[in-house]
Structure 1
Amino acid sequence: MDGKMRATAPGRTEAFLPSPTVQNHAANLSLLPDGTLACVWFGGTMEGMGDISIYMSRLAPGSDVWSEPEKMSDDPQKSEQNPMLFNAPDGKVWLLYTSQTSGHQDGAVVKRRISADGGKTFGEVAVLCEIPGTFVRQPIIVNDRGEWLLPVFRCIGVPGARWSGDADTAAVLISTDAGASWTMHDVPDSIGAVHMNIVPLDGDEMVAVYRNRFSEQVLRSHSSDGGRSWSAPEPTDLPNNNSSVQAVRASDGRLAIVYNHANASMSEDRRQSLYDEIEGEETEAPAEAAEPVGRKAVWGVPRAPLSLAFSSDGGERFGGRIDLETGDGFCLTNNSKDGLNREFSYPSILATPDGAIHVAFTYFRRAIKHIRLSPGTF
């Protein structure tokens, strides 16, 4: 994989990002201050293993080749996952990611590194949030009051059981001092709503879309106070297979969402948990106890097709679906070494000032694929 962008259809170019690892997952796109398109993701042998680290590749302005990736984290005792980049108002670039032991997401903490030179180099690793079980996936949003909103999901351990996502909830970490300190604000009635993705509309109006642990529908909630408080998540008309979604406002004002058009009602495929291939006999107490909620997270529903849809009413209704990748989406294993996984998943979407839409996503857990759609193709 040489990282070169190639035209595959009118108005569509694609590239597989170079990587030194056999497994690559959970891409996030961002524009750096100088206009460089950056992509961060995690790579190693298998999600949850100690060799899972954060990587970053860049597509410089005017270039059609993604750079060789730089390793951005390297704790051999931790699985470092779900990275994202944030352009702070002061010009610094933040890299955030999670850090956990094995498959124990209920023990994860959030770490960060900061760049003072536009994302060229990054400073030392520090812990941003040490509340165990705090997980990130989606970008920081700055509201009109200058408050930083970091959507998180809280991986809650159920007593007597390994973490499997059954009791996870959503929250927003808010900073009023440019990231020096944060306070946790829970989203009400949000069991099963994770990967909260905040999209500003106008003024203090914001919407959020969510992954659904129970593999039913993409969820949505609303804020009228700049993201400090949120309505309870409710189903949209889009299916969700307990895999990540991401949304952004396109240049024409529509809400564009990239997701898998699949849910549990469309397939009987199931697996025990996300980490059932690496879980051994070791035990680790849950970070936070919760009463059994009576529902189990649904894992293993195929992660395909990878689709793009649009909304003109802030996510209340979606249409105009475009399938970006099609296949069987087999994900009953995370095995990349033997090529057993065939998912298209964990998409990131970015609307750039030239009117284009960029999508980066997991391709068979072997590679990160980038697609650029020119204006007029969507």
Structure 2
Amino acid sequence: MNTNIVEAANIAMDHGIRTAYADAQRKEAFLPTPCIQNHAANLHVLDNGDMLCVWFGGTQEGIPDVSIYMSRLAAGSNAWSPAEKLSNDPTRSEQNPVLFSAPGNRLWLIYTAQLSGHQNTAIVRRRISADGGKTWGPVETLFDRPGTFVRQPIITLESGAWICPVFLCRTEPGERWVGNDDVSGVMVSDDQGATWTFKEVPESVGCVHMNVHVLQDGSLLALYRSRWADFVYASRSANGRDWSAPKPLDVPNNNSSIQFTVLKNGHLALVFNESDASHSNERRASLYDDIEDSEDSGELRDQKASERGTAFWGAPRSPMSLAISEDGGKTWRRRRNLEIGDGYCMTNNSAEQRNREYSYPSIVQSPDGALHIAFTWFRQKIKYVSVAESWVRG
């Protein structure tokens, strides 16, 4: 029997954090959840040491019963709390949650809300907590431009400006969204989120999930997922508003999410799938080709190819890997796999438990220097792993 499955069954019993099987340098757990499908985790550390994880869960991505959930690892605790449901719109699929600590002890939750599998209908919503996520204010619309998506955290610049990375899921009238013409940009606020201005990243067609951080030298680096399932792309900025065109790195990408963080020593830590289209013998028509609803009844025509071609869906989402860069993201020579498997993702159907992907990772560093990672496990659970940077050396 697959040792990953046996290990998962053992860990899933109590959701406590324990030493990994056959690896004393690694701690891990599965987060408690009531949902059939769980996906798109994001981690956030509060000033009091609590760690929060948000994700979306329900029957299946794109179905309206998908909502936002949160679990807490209280400071000093070794177990994640039961999942709390933070959204509940019965008409839209609510996805890709992100947390942000704003001034004045305000914790922001932002997430997308779309009609069925049509990402070009998505808007971005917000809730604010004044007590570290214990209670939440009303649901508000943050960005109302249809097709606006978030996946990565808001950052604050030294100037005080807020930068919220977004990507736009674009279609022509009558077209069904399949991801061929998505572009990235940043929403910029100079008044702590009261108003926002959009700045598009040039030549960014197919580069999405823009993940931005300030480097030790004060410059900004953005890394991107590729719709073409070829490489992780990178662009740079001096002010957070004006960006260079994304260029490929020597790091593969499979048209699945990535995330990186800047460590206290200036190194960068990246979690990603060491896979690309060349590892795939199959191809899906789209992300949502296994969802049927009234809007998919044939009234919409398929989307034409963009200037760069058609998005690649179905490349294996495995292994889940951790990489370290010591030169500001130019090279990523130190790498080690967190999970290994076939990464089968030709379906998003979790009810039948056919998906075997490790995907959509999030990574943060706690004040004690430990790296904390959360990611999708077979689209059934959110898995949590903690290691030291030295673990990557093996």
Length-normalised TM-score, structure 2:
0.92
Say whether residues 1:107 and 2:90 are aligned partners.
no
Moved more, 311-320 or 54-63: 311-320
Say whether residues 1:241 and 2:235 are aligned partners.
no
Pairing of 1:284-363 with structure 2 (within 5 A): 292-293=306-307, 295-363=309-377
Instruction: Return the alpha-carbon distance in structure 2 between the equivalents of residues 177 and 187 of structure 1.
Output: 22
Contact 2:225 2:257 in 1 (8 A): yes
Contact 1:159 1:290 in 2 (8 A): no
Select 2:233's aligned residue among 178, 195, 219.
219
Give the CA deviation at 1:203: 5.3
Select 1:269's aligned residue among 258, 277, 282.
282
Runs of 5+ consecutive residues of structure 1 not aligned to the other structure: none
2:295 corresponding residue in structure 1: 282
Moved more, 293-302 or 98-107: 293-302
The one-letter code of the counterpart of 2:283 is R
The one-letter code of the counterpart of 2:149 is F
Give the CA deviation at 1:11: 2.0
Deviations 1:233-282 (A, max 9, x none): 00000000000000001232111100000001222221000000113452
The one-letter code of the counterpart of 1:135 is F
Secondary structure of 2:295's counterpart equals: coil
Say whether residues 1:4 and 2:16 are aligned partners.
yes
Give the CA deviation at 1:33: 2.8
Instruction: Return the alpha-carbon distance in structure 1 between the equivalents of residues 371 and 90 of structure 2.
Output: 36
Contact 1:33 1:87 in 2 (8 A): no
The one-letter code of the counterpart of 1:317 is T
Instruction: Return the alpha-carbon distance in structure 1 between the equivalents of residues 293 and 389 of structure 2.
Output: 49
Give the CA deviation at 1:136: 0.2
Give the CA deviation at 1:160: 4.3
Say whether residues 1:145 and 2:182 are aligned partners.
no
Select 1:98's aligned residue among 104, 112, 134.
112
Aligned positions, number: 375
Instruction: Return the alpha-carbon distance in structure 1 between the equivalents of residues 105 and 316 of structure 2.
Output: 40
Give the CA deviation at 1:312: 1.3
Q: Cα RMSD (Å) of the superposition?
A: 1.6
Runs of 5+ consecutive residues of structure 2 not aligned to the other structure: 1-11
2:4 corresponding residue in structure 1: none
Instruction: Return the alpha-carbon distance in structure 1 between the equivalents of residues 140 and 294 of structure 2.
Output: 31
The one-letter code of the counterpart of 1:171 is G
Secondary structure of 1:377's counterpart equals: helix
- Please list every run of at least 4 consecutive aligned residues from structure 1 whose deviation after the TM superposition is greater than 6 angstroms: none
Secondary structure of 1:122's counterpart equals: coil
Pairing of 1:51-130 with structure 2 (within 5 A): 51-130=65-144
- Quick one: structure 1 residues 317 and 64, their matched pair in 2 at CA, closer, same or farther if it must change by over 3 Å? same
Select 1:256's aligned residue among 249, 261, 269.
269
The one-letter code of the counterpart of 2:380 is R
Contact 2:210 2:223 in 1 (8 A): yes
Deviations 1:317-337 (A, max 9, x none): 111111000000000000111
Deviations 1:97-118 (A, max 9, x none): 0000100100100000001112
The one-letter code of the counterpart of 1:301 is A
Identity %: 53
Give the CA deviation at 1:79: 0.1
Length-normalised TM-score, structure 1:
0.96
Deviations 1:129-188 (A, max 9, x none): 001100000000000000000000100014543100000000000011111111101000
Secondary structure of 2:120's counterpart equals: helix
The one-letter code of the counterpart of 1:345 is S
1:173 corresponding residue in structure 2: 187
Secondary structure of 2:278's counterpart equals: helix
Contact 1:152 1:196 in 2 (8 A): yes
Contact 2:223 2:232 in 1 (8 A): yes
Deviations 1:195-221 (A, max 9, x none): 000011135401000000000000000
Deviations 1:280-308 (A, max 9, x none): 4525999xx99843500000000000001
Contact 1:158 1:292 in 2 (8 A): no
Instruction: Return the alpha-carbon distance in structure 1 between the equivalents of residues 319 and 305 of structure 2.
Output: 35
- Quick one: structure 1 residues 294 and 309, their matched pair in 2 at CA, closer, same or farther if it must change by over 3 Å? closer
Instruction: Return the alpha-carbon distance in structure 1 between the equivalents of residues 38 and 293 of structure 2.
Output: 23
Contact 1:32 1:119 in 2 (8 A): no
Contact 1:167 1:290 in 2 (8 A): no
Contact 1:158 1:167 in 2 (8 A): no
Contact 2:148 2:167 in 1 (8 A): yes
